[in-house]
Structure 1
Amino acid sequence: MKASEILILNGLGTKKQVKKLIKNRLVFLNGRVVEEDQEVEGSLYYQEQALDMHPLKYIMLHKPTGYLSANKDEYERTITDLLPYRHLSMIGRLDRETSGLMLLTNEKKLAKRLILPEYHIERTYQFTCLKPLTSDDIQSFAEGIVIDGNIKTEKVQLRLASKQSGEITLHEGKYHEIRKMFLSCHNGIKTLHRISYGGIRLDIPEGSYRELTIEEVNQLHRLVEDEED
């Protein structure tokens, strides 16, 4: 990996900005000034700050309710309050009152592709709703529901545990889509909890995080590999 790539992934700026750091002789490799952008091995420093030489991060977070899916907010708690890392891209945000699985990475190209609708990435949620679902409601989900006045959602199959709870799987991620679908059926969501994304299932306690395994990272890449360079 080149020095500029490591600097970027350590949050030190854009490609243009980090190349300026190198030009200004502020980057050191094994105690020597880095004269030009080059492949590096060993210990890399920006001034006196030791840099992470393996900076690509792939994180699973179990988001509690009450946290914003944001890097910072002046008044509200955000998911970065639960993490030691910064500068991570979120793969599918969750609203404040939705809990469950969030995936984050600083591999920006991967993060961007995993939320694009054309890849049809599977997301599964557990839900409870305010009123019992009728057979007509279930049929409406199976056919696609009109939300926001004129937008028809994809066809959705519900797996019911009871008349007011179950699982719902989507292959797209429109803003507040599940909540809007239930509202269109004159119902409402009581609780919403994401349990999987792209086949990766939540397996850690609420409020905790872990790094993804190599197998899980490879699985995410395979979901979009047809379009990758």
Structure 2
Amino acid sequence: MRINKYIALCGVASRRKAEELILEGKVSIDNKIIKDLAIQVQDNNIVKVNNKVIRPVESYKYFILNKPVGYISTAKDQFGRKSVIDFFDSNDRIYPVGRLDYDSRGLLLMTNDGDLTYKLTHPKHNIYKKYEVKVDKPLNESETKEFMSGVDIGGYITAPCRLKRLSFQALYEVIIGEGKNRQIRKMFSYFGKKVIDLNRVAIGELELSTLKEGSYRALTEKEINYLKKIAEIK
């Protein structure tokens, strides 16, 4: 089994993050540091990350977290900010699937299934995500049409998306399939609008529903099967 996939199956990190750990010299096989991303792990090998032995996870866990504003979606932060991982037992080695900005809130998938995380975050999938976004002033009719057809957010033209105004207080429902860094904020900024609040309410068929902010729940078997199904779509 390829080393990055093995690390993912151990629940340590996604395949992409595993490759970073390897290149940083933090991974060893049989006490020998390796930096070859193509190396294969055999059944009798002892693999260590940061000098700690790792083994494949015996049982996977899947959660939906309603992330509050003020939490990062990574394990560590150079500024010492709070992490979404703080909501879970450290022994579970739970990690977020993708990211949600520090100043954004809402639905975030959390799991120790590194292989599924890799597949769900692969660019080929473009899983649709629904957001409720409040801005300081509304878009006019021409801006709305341009927003939906695609705008330049800094050398990248966004794909067509869905946009619906929910109230006269400049509250919008935005549905996008991409996940560029701070994409929605940049899209509104293109028209001189400032995002006041951004709340992700759904990822595909998974919804926050009545889950309170700062709380999480385990995914149902049906929801887990749904994620695995869409992860395998070519």
- The interval holding the TM-score normalised by the smaller chain is 0.7 to 0.9
Deviation at 1:92, TM superposition (A): 2.2
Matches within 5 A, 1:77-116: 77-85=82-90, 86-116=92-122
Aligned residue identity for 1:158:
L
Residue of 216, 226, 229 corresponding to 1:219 = 226
Q: Does 1:133 find its partner at 2:135?
A: no
Matches within 5 A, 1:29-40: none
Find the aligned partners of 2:28 and 2:214 in 1 and give their Cα distance: 34
Deviation at 1:56, TM superposition (A): 0.8
Find the aligned partners of 1:10 and 1:161 in 2 and give their Cα distance: 41
Find the aligned partners of 2:109 and 2:120 in 1 and give their Cα distance: 10
What percent identity do the matched residue pairs reach? 31
CA separation of 1:169 and 1:53: change in aligned 2, threshold 3 A: closer
User: For 1:118, what is the secondary structure of its paired residue?
Assistant: coil
Q: Does 1:154 find its partner at 2:159?
A: yes
Summarize deviations over 1:166-224 as a string: whole Å, max 9, x none: 21001010000000000001111010000011210013111111111111010001112
Matches within 5 A, 1:166-177: 166-177=172-183
Deviation at 1:120, TM superposition (A): 1.9
Matches within 5 A, 1:41-60: 54-60=58-64
Q: Is the 8 A contact 1:122 1:170 kept in 2?
A: yes
Q: Which runs of 5+ in 1 are unaligned?
A: 22-35, 38-50
Aligned residue identity for 1:220:
L
Deviation at 1:19, TM superposition (A): 7.9
Q: Is the 8 A contact 2:67 2:213 kept in 1?
A: yes
Aligned to 2:151: 145
Find the aligned partners of 2:159 and 2:12 in 1 and give their Cα distance: 39
Tell me the TM-score normalized by structure 1: 0.75
Q: Does 1:120 find its partner at 2:122?
A: no
Coordinate RMSD, CA, aligned: 3.1
Aligned to 1:72: 76
CA separation of 1:94 and 1:146: change in aligned 2, threshold 3 A: same
Find the aligned partners of 2:167 and 2:72 in 1 and give their Cα distance: 30
CA separation of 1:10 and 1:166: change in aligned 2, threshold 3 A: closer
Residue of 159, 164, 186 corresponding to 1:180 = 186
Q: Which runs of 5+ in 2 are unaligned?
A: 1-5, 22-26, 32-42, 45-54
Aligned residue identity for 1:78:
S
CA separation of 1:109 and 1:52: change in aligned 2, threshold 3 A: closer
Find the aligned partners of 1:10 and 1:180 in 2 and give their Cα distance: 32
Aligned to 1:208: 215
Q: Is the 8 A contact 1:198 1:223 kept in 2?
A: no
Runs of 4+ with >4 A deviation? 17-21, 51-54
Find the aligned partners of 1:186 and 1:208 in 2 and give their Cα distance: 34
Summarize deviations over 1:121-155 as a string: whole Å, max 9, x none: 0110011001122101111112101111x210011
Find the aligned partners of 2:128 and 2:176 in 1 and give their Cα distance: 6
Find the aligned partners of 1:115 and 1:19 in 2 and give their Cα distance: 27
Find the aligned partners of 2:202 and 2:116 in 1 and give their Cα distance: 17
Work out the number of aligned pairs and report it.
196
